[in-house]
Structure 1
Amino acid sequence: MSVSTGNRSDQDIQTAVQDELDWTPEVDAAGIGVAVDDGVVALSGEVSSYPARLAAKRAALRVRGVTAIVDNVSVHSNWSTSVTETDIAKEVEHALRWMSNVPDTVKAEVEGHDITLTGAVTWDFQRRAAQRAIQHLKGVHYVNNLVTLTPRASVPDAEQRIRNAINRNAQLDADTITVVVSGNEVTLTGTVASWAEKREAERAAWASPHVSAVHDRISVLY
């Protein structure tokens, strides 16, 4: 049975995801399997690099009708045996230190070809910058970003400020998004038309100087 998600069946979504993967230059679509269940896309198979894995996930999220991604793609690179853990550790440390928007408080732990980032930063963009700095390095198969934000002082108008930021954003319909602030934590609910809009709403919430956690429970509808 083919389940319908909005106006698209799971079979339609599967075909569209496969076509989008094939249209993505960074991805060898032949090595990736696609299964769809009620709009949830499961990706499987092997790619040659971590950036290719990320590109495959982003490609699937671009497709209309996709509600969530299960990423079971693994990385198998030709240079895995020639690049040692020590080599990776040196390159990761160099990359982090050369990024002007990544504080020295960010530390990296290397285990095989997997990287775990820890430490505390002031802003979410710094946390994301740390991951971007290392995810394209040769030999890196996975990045686990555990960097946290430094403690924030709560203010009574934080909720309204975030609503105002969402309202200013030309990509968002503020009437479909609900913002609730409890202490330093923000919960976003409601509906948007795309994953790009969902990320924009989350970015607006993270931009608050009084937020240490964002729970994005917005649904993507088509």
Structure 2
Amino acid sequence: MSTLVVVVDGHDDERIQRDVQAELAWDPRLRPNEIGVSVDRGVVTLTGFVDGAARGWAATRCAQRVRGVRAVADTIEVRLPGTPGRTDAELALAASRALEWDSFVPDEALDVTVANGWLMLRGEVEFGWQRRAAEGELRRLDGVRGITNLVEVRPPASPAGEELRQDVQRALARTLGGDRVTVDVDGDTLVLAGVVRSWWERDQVERVAWSAPGVRVVHDQLLVGG
């Protein structure tokens, strides 16, 4: 078995730090100089304070978009403004409405509880992409400190083994081209392996995998190469 070794020197770290800082400054959802960035062998650590989970998530995504980033350690703290904001009851109502307004999310099968601005999402969906979509809707809400997604994926039917593997492999080829990602099927579980060029590509691979019918679990073993 071959092992991928990614070598990142100090000059690469300096370039990655500059690029992440520039990407953070470029994103209109973030405020100048509110996020600190340090890099060690391609691993980016984000520090600082933001006034909502959506801003913290946006900062993480900014870092993941930069070429050469191997991993992101998010240590950003969410500190809501000192002025009175949404109560937990108001936030729960906003979360419920956000799920109702997304026509692709089965809101009737989901339940949201809120404690001190932290959302707990429970329930069952048929597709993994619905689980991701529901969390994405809640991340956009003002006043959210964080989200724990406990939604379970319960497909209505078992996947078709080799046929499923080939379908996912073809979908990945349409999205990424080539065969850098391999797919194995173990019952209702997809196992993804290989090397992608960026976190954006990794996210696209996961999107394709979770869109496959009958899949309950996705094991992501992908490596991000510079």
Q: Same fold (TM over 0.5)?
A: yes
How far did 1:90 drift?
1.6
Equivalent residue number for residue 3 of structure 2: none
Q: Structure 1's 196 and 7: CA in aligned 2 closer, same or farther, altered over 3 A?
A: farther
Matched, 1:63 2:69: no
Q: Aligned partners of 2:161, 2:105: CA distance in 1, in Å?
A: 30
Tell which deviates more after alignment, 85-94 or 63-72: 85-94
Q: Give aligned pairs, total.
A: 218
How far did 1:110 drift?
0.6
Q: Structure 1's 6 and 216: CA in aligned 2 closer, same or farther, altered over 3 A?
A: farther
Task: Let me know the Cα RMSD of the aligned residues.
Answer: 2.0
Q: Which runs of 5+ in 1 are unaligned?
A: none
Of the three residues 165, 171, 175, the one matched with 1:159 is: 165
State percent identity of aligned pairs. Answer: 38
Tell which deviates more after alignment, 62-71 or 7-16: 7-16
How far did 1:174 drift?
3.4
Matched, 1:115 2:119: yes
How far did 1:83 drift?
1.9
Q: Aligned partners of 1:47, 1:176: CA distance in 2, in Å?
A: 37
Which runs of structure 1 show a deviation greater than 3 angstroms over 4 or more consecutive aligned residues? 79-82
1:173-212 correspondence runs (5 A): 173-212=177-216
How far did 1:4 drift?
5.2
Q: Aligned partners of 2:109, 2:67: CA distance in 1, in Å?
A: 39
> What SS does structure 1 have at the residue aligned with 2:69?
coil
**Larger RCO (CA under 8 A, 6+ residues apart):** 2
Q: Structure 1's 124 and 6: CA in aligned 2 closer, same or farther, altered over 3 A?
A: farther
User: Does the 8 Å CA contact 2:120/2:148 hold for their aligned counterparts?
Assistant: yes
Equivalent residue number for residue 17 of structure 2: 14
1:1-222 correspondence runs (5 A): 5=8, 9-78=12-81, 81-103=84-106, 104-151=108-155, 152-157=157-162, 158-169=164-175, 172-222=176-226
